[in-house]
Amino acid sequence: MNLAKISLAAAVACMVITSASADDSKPKRELKGNMNQVYNTLPANADTISDAFANGVFYGHLRMNSFMWDWKEDVNNRDNRAFGLGGSLIYKTAPLMGLSATAGLYYADSPFDGLRDNNSDVGTTKAGKDTFSRQNVRDNGNWSMTSLAQAYLQYDYSKTTLKAGRQLFESFLTASNDTKMIPNTFEGLSVETKEIPQTQLRAAYFYAEKLRDHTEFHDVITFKDSSGDSWANNDDAVVHKGLSYANFEKAGKDTQHVLIVADMKNTSLENLQIDVTYTGVPDVVSSITGEINYMIGLGGGFTLTPGVRYMQQMDDGGGQIGGASLSGTLAGKTGAQSGYKDANSLDSSLAMGRLVLKQGPLQLQLAYSAVADEGDIVAPWRGFPTGEYTRAMAQYNWNANTKTSAAEVKYDFDKANIIPGFSAMARYAMQDFDEDKQVAGVQADSNVLHMDFIQKIATGLEGKIRVGLISADERVGSTDKDSYNEYRFELNYLF
């Protein structure tokens, strides 16, 4: 790993050296820290159908992602690497009497053998697996992906927006999670309104989803398909494997599902934000989540924001079908099993709290999360239940009876007039999993150091280095299966 560390240091040095060329002018789009995109330029209103297309705007994105994953013990695991090169072209028509359309075509490829795993090893590639389609590589040796991931009609009236088709939808449990090559998108209907002052209301009905490493849309929660292919349908890293095609059929249930989301954000009271979200797959599982954040001015430019989030998960039949564990090992079982008090119940809850201290370019955060000792939390839609609180890169800390403490510091060197265009973040998380549940697939306790370094090189161009250092205990009666170091480097150019 000396070579990886040298490469990391060299990349950081290059990013700092090139910082002098950073341009303060705004591009048509910008990337937020979570890789969500902010549109600074949108098409102006059109008067005719021809103007609607002629005055439309194209948005381009070129990107590169590189990954190196080094397991501490390779007896049970295999070191792996991945590389992605590609981009996207999004077109938005100009609104005509409130009606507009958006289409987004995405492409990704892994063209260099030495920078990625071999064809036969795609099943063990970890973080970088979303730079290609495992099905495509297995079935025809094709390392490229092409997807029309966005394609929707939009209607705007007053302060209300309706969308129909393939779209991004950022909510508590649904996200584009666009940190690789192609985002996670949903197909269906959504509506957003801000007609009530200082209140945002949204609702969505999605009948299909396309995960980041898929080229076709699929069911929102069913694991595997009728042939038993584990890379078909929803094969997200934290999918509930007990909610499989075979288990739904065995229970006499439908294998096609819909995902319903409704949320509310209110800022009517000064410095107070209230969020409430409902997410549900009818006849399987649902949840309702409330969150409160209150900002307190401390003087001297300092603010302190306490935040609390509570999620209640309700079993709507999924526990009987797939069991309480995301691993699927408890499907069809009852009573106390493998550390779970009720093997066929997905009833559960998750509580979190945080303190965020801000002053100019500096942000400090302390956070804690605890999952009830009931069922695991079901969230395979790329929105992370503990996100913005205790989740660290590539970690999934919402198994039953998991407790996590985390500390985080962010510093914007550009805002502090120290290094133009440069910012950094470090997060340290201590994850306390339930050892009694390891037989059901739960990992060992671990400490995680996660660091991000971002350099805006020029208008629309930025580089990002991410490092994850994970030190875990040995699993009960076994070896160290959970310690590893991970290194990521990416370039993004928006035009």
pLDDT digits (tens, 9 = 90+) for 308-356: 999 999 999 999 999 999 999 999 999 999 999 999 999 999 999 999 9
**10 Å Cβ neighbour count for 474?**
14
Q: What is the pTM of this model?
A: 0.93
Residues 6+ apart with CB under 8 A from 140: none
Look at residue 29 in the predicted model and tell me its pLDDT.
92
Here the contacts of 243-249 (C-beta below 8 Å, separation 24 or greater) are 243/284, 243/318, 243/321, 243/322, 243/328, 243/378, 244/322, 244/328, 244/331, 247/321, 247/322, 247/328, 247/331, 247/332, 248/222, 248/321
Q: Is the pLDDT of residue 179 over 70?
A: yes
Is residue 431 within 8 Å of 457, Cβ to Cβ?
A: no
Helix residue ranges, H only, 269-425: 318-322
User: Binning pLDDT at 50, 70 and 90, where does residue 14 land?
Assistant: very low
Summarised one tens digit per residue, pLDDT across range 381-422 is: 999 999 999 999 999 999 999 999 999 999 999 999 999 999
The mean pLDDT of the chain is 94
Summarised one tens digit per residue, pLDDT across range 71-99 is: 998 877 899 999 999 999 999 999 999 99
Distance from the Cα of residue 331 to its chain's centroid: 27
CA 366 to CA 6: how far, in whole Å? 31
Look at residue 33 in the predicted model and tell me its pLDDT.
84
User: Binning pLDDT at 50, 70 and 90, where does residue 20 land?
Assistant: very low
For the chain, count helices (H), then strands (E): 5, 21
Does domain 2-494 fall under CATH 2.40.160.10? My reply is yes
CA 208 to CA 205: how far, in whole Å? 9
Summarised one tens digit per residue, pLDDT across range 239-264 is: 999 999 999 999 999 999 999 999 99
SS3 for 390-428, per residue?
A: CCCCCCCCCCCCCEEEEEEEEEECCCCCCCCCEEEEEEE
Mean pLDDT (whole number) for 146-174: 98
Look at residue 12 in the predicted model and tell me its pLDDT.
41
**Pairing mode, strands 99-109 and 461-472:** unpaired
Summarised one tens digit per residue, pLDDT across range 280-311 is: 999 999 999 999 999 999 999 999 999 999 99
